[in-house]
Amino acid sequence: MQQISKQPTFELGRIVATPGALAALKKAGQQPGEFLTRHVNREPDEDRKENDYSLEHGFRLLSAYRTTAGDKLWIFTESDRSVTLLLPEEY
């Protein structure tokens, strides 16, 4: 596993979460911060190359994760650096 850096690679703006994402997190007993930390450190590796390009060019960043209960969770950071946590079916 890659070591998480102490400094985030980009700043997060306003953070919002959909009801479905909040329910999935509650079901898994996990907190949004766990996934947000991974997102700002550009984890997982399969998203890193695309997110590096997006970060360099001011585009939207996307990370996809699974909760411990198996639900897929998406995190978008828009070009204005606002952040949304949602389930894929809520997109």
pLDDT digits over 41-89, tens only?
Answer: 888 777 888 988 998 998 999 999 999 999 999 999 998 888 899 999 9
Q: With bands split at pLDDT 50, 70 and 90, how would you rate the model's confidence at 6? A: low
The span from the CA of 36 to the CA of 29, in Å, is 15
Query: Which token pair is 91?
Result: 């997109």
Position 9 scores a pLDDT of 79
The answer, yes or no, to whether the previous bond of 44 is cis (omega within 30 of 0) is yes
pTM (2 d.p.): 0.83
Query: Which token pair is 21?
Result: 């994402």
Q: Residue type at 48? A: R
Query: Token match 């590096």: residue?
Result: 52
Q: With bands split at pLDDT 50, 70 and 90, how would you rate the model's confidence at 1? A: very low
